[in-house]
Structure 1
Amino acid sequence: MTTLQNRPHTALLVIDVQIGVVAGAHRRDAVLSNINTLVARARSEGVPVVWVQHSDAELEVGSDPWQLVPELERSSGEPLVRKTYGDSFEDTDLEDVLAASGVGRLVVSGAQTDACIRSTIHGAFARGYDVTLVGDAHTTEDLSEWGAPTPDKVIGHTNMYWQYQSAPGRSATVDDTADVSFAPAGAVPA
């Protein structure tokens, strides 16, 4: 259903699952386990896995907090997109990476729900991608002392509103890890 021409494939996007990003994340271990499950399934089905890694003043390139978490292993042939903005497409080569593989649908996991996840799913949708947010494979830290809702509410709200996004020729869905299909939106299972 994507509005992108000749882009029938799906990719798994793993966003900012870095030591410093998820150190205090809500349900960290369960989310990492779900992401590991998604990565293994994507690889076994020949679906591209694209890793995204953020850097800024608190996540300096090469520092320990900047590193991907040791619980997840990126294979050497899998693309790594480095970014400095919330939207993984902004000022990166993500679009080129996805276009080269004919990807028009993204399955999104990672961190942080209320920042880079939301920015990226909206950015992808606005660019014409079908976007499935994996409801139990994204997380955020507790920012409630600064007035934000608790992480469970941030995650729940994001899952709730994303399933109701709509735009011509595109789909926005939320699935739990066990229910994720890597088939293109609208594809009939074999």
Structure 2
Amino acid sequence: MTTLDNRPNTALLVVDVQNGVVDDAYERDAVVANIGGLVGRARREGVPVVWVRHSDEELVQGSEEWRIVDELRPDDAEPIVEKSYGDSFEDTDLEKILAERGIGRLVVTGAETDACIRSTLHGALVRGYDATLVGDAHTTGDKTAWGAPSPEQVIAHTNLYWRFQLAPGRRGGTVETSEVDFRG
């Protein structure tokens, strides 16, 4: 249903699964394993995998914290989008990469749920993409000290509200890893 012309393809988007982002994240190992399974499946099915990596004062490029976790290895042919804002589209070459591959639908995984995942989902939808969130393949850290809900509640709420996201000619949606259909 994407509103982007000539964009029939789907990509798996892996956002900010970096050491300094997910080290203390909620259910880190299970989420990383689910993402790893999806990456393997996407590769076997010929679905493009696009990686996103954040950098800022705490995630300095080239540092151990900035690196993608050891369990996940981008293939040399898979693009890595470098970003410094929450929305993976903002001031990056993500749109160009997706356009070159005819991608109009994104299957979104990664971290952090209440920051870069939500920003990227909304960024995709307003730019004309269909954006499916994989409900058990995203995570966040504990921000309850600053008044936020628990990570479990943040993840559950995001899964709930994204399940029903619609815009003219576009849709969101939430599925579990076992329900991902890269064909649409």
Q: Describe how 1:53-68 pairs up with structure 2 within 5 A.
A: 53-68=53-68
3-state DSSP of counterpart to 1:87: coil
In the aligned structure 2, how far is the partner of 1:9 from the partner of 1:45? 12
- 5+ unaligned residues in a row in structure 1: which ranges? 185-190
Aligned length: 184
Percent same amino acid at aligned positions? 65
Q: Which amino acid is the alignment partner of residue 5 of structure 1?
A: D
What is the alpha-carbon root mean square deviation over aligned residues?
0.4
In the aligned structure 2, how far is the partner of 1:117 from the partner of 1:27? 16
1:69 equivalent in structure 2: 69
1:188 equivalent in structure 2: none
2:151 equivalent in structure 1: 151
In the aligned structure 1, how far is the partner of 2:180 from the partner of 2:120? 19
Q: Describe how 1:114-125 pairs up with structure 2 within 5 A.
A: 114-125=114-125
1:153 Cα deviation after fit: 0.1
1:171 Cα deviation after fit: 1.3
1:10 Cα deviation after fit: 0.0
1:50 Cα deviation after fit: 0.1
3-state DSSP of counterpart to 2:91: coil
3-state DSSP of counterpart to 2:173: strand
In the aligned structure 2, how far is the partner of 1:87 from the partner of 1:28? 22
In the aligned structure 1, how far is the partner of 2:165 from the partner of 2:135? 15
In the aligned structure 2, how far is the partner of 1:67 from the partner of 1:15? 12
Greater than 3 Å deviation, 4+ residue runs:
none
1:105 equivalent in structure 2: 105
In the aligned structure 2, how far is the partner of 1:73 from the partner of 1:60? 19
In the aligned structure 1, how far is the partner of 2:150 from the partner of 2:95? 33
In the aligned structure 1, how far is the partner of 2:60 from the partner of 2:36? 25
In the aligned structure 2, how far is the partner of 1:167 from the partner of 1:12? 21
Q: Structure 1 length normalisation: TM-score? A: 0.96
Q: Does 1:96 align with 2:96?
A: yes
In the aligned structure 2, how far is the partner of 1:180 from the partner of 1:141? 25
1:43 equivalent in structure 2: 43
Q: Which amino acid is the alignment partner of residue 4 of structure 1?
A: L
Deviation string, structure 1 residues 120-175 (Cα, Å, up to 9, x no partner): 00000000000100000000000001100000000000000001111111111100
Q: Structure 2 length normalisation: TM-score? A: 0.99
2:183 equivalent in structure 1: 183
Q: Which amino acid is the alignment partner of residue 3 of structure 2?
A: T
Deviation string, structure 1 residues 28-59 (Cα, Å, up to 9, x no partner): 00000000010001000000000000000000
Q: Does 1:136 align with 2:173?
A: no
In the aligned structure 2, how far is the partner of 1:166 from the partner of 1:8? 18
- 5+ unaligned residues in a row in structure 2: which ranges? none
